[in-house]
Amino acid sequence: AQTVTQSQPEMSVQEAETVTLSCTYDTSENNYYLFWYKQPPSRQMILVIRQEAYKQQNATENRFSVNFQKAAKSFSLKISDSQLGDTAMYFCAFDLNTDKLIFGTGTRLQVFP
Amino acid sequence: KAGVTQTPRYLIKTRGQQVTLSCSPISGHRSVSWYQQTPGQGLQFLFEYFSETQRNKGNFPGRFSGRQFSNSRSEMNVSTLELGDSALYLCASRKELNTEAFFGQGTRLTVV
């Protein structure tokens, strides 16, 4: 069975600092997609960053970047220059090319001024 | 461009009743997926529809059903509600396979 594990239930970081959220997953498939979603108190899930498993280059999106280690089945999210608006739940998810997202349990990130 | 719209935003129902939730995808998106979010179980996939056909289904009892209309709007129905069905129900739409899923703000269902 495919699973996603986020081992950090809560994290905190000071404004302008850098924080890394961890994610590991388990699948025997070779072709899949990985995502980080953000869910602020408004509840709406927002895509932060996306990585295709066949691409070796790590995805980046402004202050957000990933460290994708396919052999280790690891997909961590680095947030640089943290901002107060980054405070949210962050979910790691993957998709086996089926339009079915499998989510981790989430990491609650608090950014302090 | 309007986002994914879910109605209603909040709902309170009594055990044993049934409920219908609605999701209007982004214009041009033909895939609609439904997820249940609870503190205990996290985010779980319910089902996915594409062009009025259910393509994928999660591990939920038959009390949970859905459908998609020709305009891509989707509804999900839960019959014989149980207390454990209390959750945030999220809908997501995609233009095509493996593209970004855009989520609605969800419907908060409380079963009393």
DSSP state of B84: G
Flag whether pLDDT at B1 surpasses 70: no
Computed over every residue of chain B, the mean pLDDT equals 94
Nearest CA in chain A to B35: A101
**Binary contact (B106, A44; C-beta < 8 A):** yes
Q: Please provide the size of chain B in residues.
A: 112
* pLDDT tens column, B75-108: 999 999 999 999 999 999 998 877 889 999 999 9
Q: What gap in Å lies between CA A48 and CA A81, rounded to an integer? A: 15
The confidence band for B31, taking pLDDT boundaries of 50, 70 and 90, is very high
- Name which of B56, B100, B103 to mutate to probe chain A: the one with the most chain A Cβ atoms within 10 A of its Cβ: B103
Q: For residues A19-36, b (16+ Cβ closer than 10 Å) or e, as one string?
A: bebbbbbebeeeebbbbb
* pLDDT tens column, A51-110: 999 988 999 999 999 999 999 999 999 999 999 999 999 999 988 877 789 999 999 999
B84: left (phi over 0), alpha (psi -120 to 50) or beta: alpha
